[in-house]
Structure 1
């Protein structure tokens, strides 16, 4: 049985979400020109949670689940991503490297469920690792060891957050994101005071422009509330096998937007690294789908033969 085809209007909605999530890395870079990274993250999750929490019902999941997801995504994923993007990795490459969360998700599944690493996953991981190695060999100022390390930890935090979310299986993903964001706010503001420092926070707020606040609002409303709500709505109407592969477009839009809007050069070594990482992600995504399709065709042929 093949996965259902997206209706044109739903395909456009999915494409819009990918454009938003991909170009979001450029928006992050623009806001970081004025705001310290942890301050920016704290403001982002404050506006994602408030005032929406007053209007959106709390999902029927444990408070500790909301807290775990909020801290993993708020502090672990975006806090570290923003620090890295302050000057240790370019927006285009950040959009690519953070997608390695798919492989950390496999690792967490192995650790908690006893799932064994399969052959195609080994091949996919080797391709992605080769791409990351190529980045470090040629990166220069576009990606430093610190930047790569921080984004990889951010990807691991994203994977852990996804694991928490899947275990909770909330019926209302938007409510889950809004209410979990409340738990990201206190640690982010505390870490901002500790690491950004009040003088830098005050200076950042003072020199912020309407464009800076528009970027913060875009992070909260466009990227988080609209993006997650639309994605959750699509996943509720189509199988994951139909929707999930579209996420491979995020680094494509991310690198293209960074090149077009920020002048980040798309050099041959970047394209090569991206091709290796995306090949690994594509193999990890599409190989199980291909195997299921083959199994379905084989089962159908056997059934047909038996009825003759």
Structure 2
């Protein structure tokens, strides 16, 4: 991965890491399915009126909407509302890197090199340290929902790579537009008639998750997936819990122990090693 694209991947991880603190704030004002539906409605409308067709067959748009949009965020936000704290959620969701590699190898036939396996092992060792230090404080059901959200994200990564949209931002606008209706219908059926919050905190959180995390974030994500193997790009999301826990420490005062700092260093080193190209001997 080139230095410019490497910096882009790290910046994306930072934006997504802070996103967990933002989502936790938003869930104080909106039920989870409504929050997810409003997120994608804001990201998809009226932007789709300003862009052309997605540039790929509609089945790929629908596939990414079903996995990354409806599947991932419905499971994720319901899990957070059920008791998963932001820091632990940012950690558990990164199991998507493992799911992505498994799906990419089995469905796309991508090659899994010894270097990537070693880097992933080091990074997941760091994640294990964070899990040991943090502890699974939420209910088991909420934990399982977040793991399922990670699986949905991993499958969505593979579908998006297979789609290879020529314009990532335009593609994400249409994915958002297709994700919003089923989420809003599910919200109406399961959560009842919406009661929109007038709180500025709730609405600002929606602006961030819609335009920064969704359109900007997945636009960059698709850009990277179009240029590199999914098994190369996905490990960089292991940096998300590093930024997520740092954000929680700065914004909410959540303690950051030395064990977590060591774990974060392992994650960074593992990700960099897995994504770097080995030097050729001359």
- TM-score (norm: length of structure 2): 0.82
Q: Is the 8 A contact 1:67 1:183 kept in 2?
A: yes
Q: Is the 8 A contact 1:88 1:141 kept in 2?
A: no
Query: Secondary structure of 1:6's partner?
Result: helix
Answer yes or no: is 1:33 the counterpart of 2:13: no
Aligned partner of 1:161 in structure 2 is 156
Query: Cα distance, 1:266 vs. partner?
Result: 2.3
Number of corresponding residues: 279
Aligned partner of 1:225 in structure 2 is 215
Answer yes or no: is 1:179 the counterpart of 2:174: yes
Answer yes or no: is 1:89 the counterpart of 2:70: no
Per-residue deviation, residues 230-286 of structure 1 (Å, max 9, x unmatched)? 5556788xx649x94764443221110011112222245655665666665555434
Query: Cα distance, 1:49 vs. partner?
Result: 0.6
Structure 2: gaps (5+ residues): none
Query: Cα distance, 1:179 vs. partner?
Result: 0.6
Q: Is the 8 A contact 1:136 1:143 kept in 2?
A: no
Structure 1: gaps (5+ residues): 302-308
Q: Supply the distance in 2 between the matched residues of 1:227 and 1:163 (Cα, whole angstroms).
A: 17
Q: Supply the distance in 1 between the matched residues of 2:216 and 2:111 (Cα, whole angstroms).
A: 36
Query: Cα distance, 1:39 vs. partner?
Result: 0.8
**Residue 44 of structure 2, aligned match among 30, 34, 49:** 49
Q: Supply the distance in 1 between the matched residues of 2:33 and 2:17 (Cα, whole angstroms).
A: 21
Q: Supply the distance in 1 between the matched residues of 2:59 and 2:141 (Cα, whole angstroms).
A: 31
- Two-structure CA RMSD over aligned residues (Å): 3.3
Aligned partner of 1:65 in structure 2 is 60
Aligned partner of 1:304 in structure 2 is none
Residue range with higher mean Cα deviation, 269-278 or 168-177: 269-278
Per-residue deviation, residues 124-158 of structure 1 (Å, max 9, x unmatched)? 56556666666666655644433332222111111
CA spacing shift, 1:109–1:4, aligned 2, 3 Å:
closer
CA spacing shift, 1:120–1:6, aligned 2, 3 Å:
closer
Q: Supply the distance in 2 between the matched residues of 1:188 and 1:162 (Cα, whole angstroms).
A: 20
Q: Supply the distance in 2 between the matched residues of 1:280 and 1:149 (Cα, whole angstroms).
A: 26
Query: Cα distance, 1:61 vs. partner?
Result: 1.1
The structure having more radius of gyration, on CA atoms, is: 1
Q: Is the 8 A contact 1:20 1:222 kept in 2?
A: yes
Q: Is the 8 A contact 1:174 1:225 kept in 2?
A: yes
CA spacing shift, 1:15–1:5, aligned 2, 3 Å:
closer
Query: Secondary structure of 1:266's partner?
Result: coil
Answer yes or no: is 1:108 the counterpart of 2:103: yes
- TM-score (norm: length of structure 1): 0.76
Residue range with higher mean Cα deviation, 224-233 or 183-192: 224-233
Q: Is the 8 A contact 1:35 1:208 kept in 2?
A: no
**Residue 189 of structure 2, aligned match among 194, 214, 218:** 194
